[in-house]
Chain A
Amino acid sequence: MGTSHENLERVITVKAETASLAVIRRFVEEVATEAALHVERVFDLKVAVSEASANAVEHASCNMALLEVRARLRPRRLTFIVTSTGRFRPPSPQREISNNRGLGMPLMVALMDEVSFARAPGGCTTVSLSVLLDQNATVPA
């Protein structure tokens, strides 16, 4: 964990459950505020990272699943990487309908400058959410 804003990197690991979402948002707020992002962009990041985490929670197959959120600040971008360490179960059409899902992805795409997904061997899925700092007003330190 560094203290320099040039190359800050932090990580938290929480249980993959919806009760962890508020904890994740506090983590995002802390990092994004420290990176001097405008309050509106802090909110955007909180929503996007929370949505990615909620998706991971929804697809976690057992109570022991964990969720890792890694913050990576580079000179021109702030990225949050959400990784579920639990195994993923196949999508269930019934579950999608009953939960009225489908808004999370559009929100992530609308609010972030870059969104990417990766499926690792073993079933872990990683979602990376970035804001480009050059394109966003920051609050003077």
Chain B
Amino acid sequence: MDVTLSSIGETPLLETRGEIDHNTCGSIETALSDALGDGHVVVLLDLRRVTYIDSGGLSVLLSGVRQLRERGWLGVIGPNPNVRRLLEIVGLLVDPGFRVFADRQAAEAALTE
């Protein structure tokens, strides 16, 4: 699974597409780990083109949130309704270290808060 790294200002923005499952989540985990290792307080993940996520991918997100919670947050952009339901089931939507944005503009606006 390819993960593209760009940024909004100095905030890293990871983007991927397709299905994030136990077989493919390793590349997201590595990219997220690299971003966290660089000391960023906010990391963004664009999920607009992600059609599916399972506990492998959700675990990566939860791990990222745990590491960021004390100093910032992990934001996801544009999860489809099914993916969003799973984020809710595992408790991410009520986690103070996790935020969901409809699009990149909304995420960018949040970075200036």
Q: Report A's interface with B, CB cutoff 8 A.
A: 18-19, 21-22, 25, 40, 43, 46-47, 50-51, 54, 57, 99-101, 103-104, 106-107, 110-111
Q: Does B72 sit at the interface, judged by CB under 8 A? A: no
Contacts of A104 in B (CB 8 A): 54-55
Within 8 A of A (CB), among B71-104: 81-82, 86, 89-90
Docked-complex contact B56 and A107, CB < 8 angstroms: no
For residue A51, which residues in chain B have a CB less than 8 angstroms away from its CB? 54-55
Is the beta-carbon distance between A103 and B21 smaller than 8 angstroms? no
Q: Is the CB of A21 within 8 A of B89?
A: no
How distant is A84 from chain B, measured CB to nearest CB, in Å? 15
The residues in B between 45 and 80 inclusive whose CB is less than 8 angstroms from any CB of A are 52, 54-56, 58-60, 62-63
Known: A25-B52, A46-B52, A51-B54. A103 touches B22 (CB 8 A): no
Q: A18-B21, A21-B21, A22-B19 are in contact. Are A47 and B59 (CB under 8 A)?
A: no
Chain B 24-63 interface 0/1 with A at a Cβ cutoff of 8 Å (1 = within):
0000000000000000000000000000101110111011
Q: Is the CB of B52 within 8 A of A103?
A: no
Given contacts A54-B56, A101-B55, contact A107 B22 (CB under 8 A): no
Q: Given A22, A101, A106, which contacts B89 in the complex, CB threshold below 8 Å?
A: A106
**A103-B23 contact in complex given A43-B82, A110-B89, C-beta closer than 8 Å:** no
| Alpha-carbon separation in the docked complex, A47 to B56 (Å) | 11
Residues of B within 8 A of A19 (CB): 23
- CB within 8 Å for A100 and B23 given contacts A40-B82, A47-B86, A110-B89: no
Known interface pairs A103-B59, A106-B90; 10 further A-B residue pairs with C-beta atoms within 8 A, sorted by A's residue number: A18-B22, A21-B22, A22-B21, A40-B82, A43-B52, A54-B56, A103-B58, A107-B54, A107-B89, A110-B89
- A54-B89 contact in complex given A18-B23, A22-B23, C-beta closer than 8 Å: no
Residues of chain B with a CB closer than 8 A to A18's CB: 21-23
Most buried by B among A25, A50, A57, A111: A50
Cβ contacts under 8 Å, B59 to chain A = 99-101, 103
Residue on A with the closest CB to B63? A100
**Nearest Cβ in chain B — how far from A2, in angstroms?**
28
Q: When A and B form their complex, which 3 residue pairs have the shortest distance between CB atoms, in order from nearest?
A: A103-B55, A18-B23, A100-B59
A and B contact pairs by CB, cutoff 8 A, 6 listed: A21-B22, A50-B54, A51-B55, A54-B21, A54-B56, A107-B55
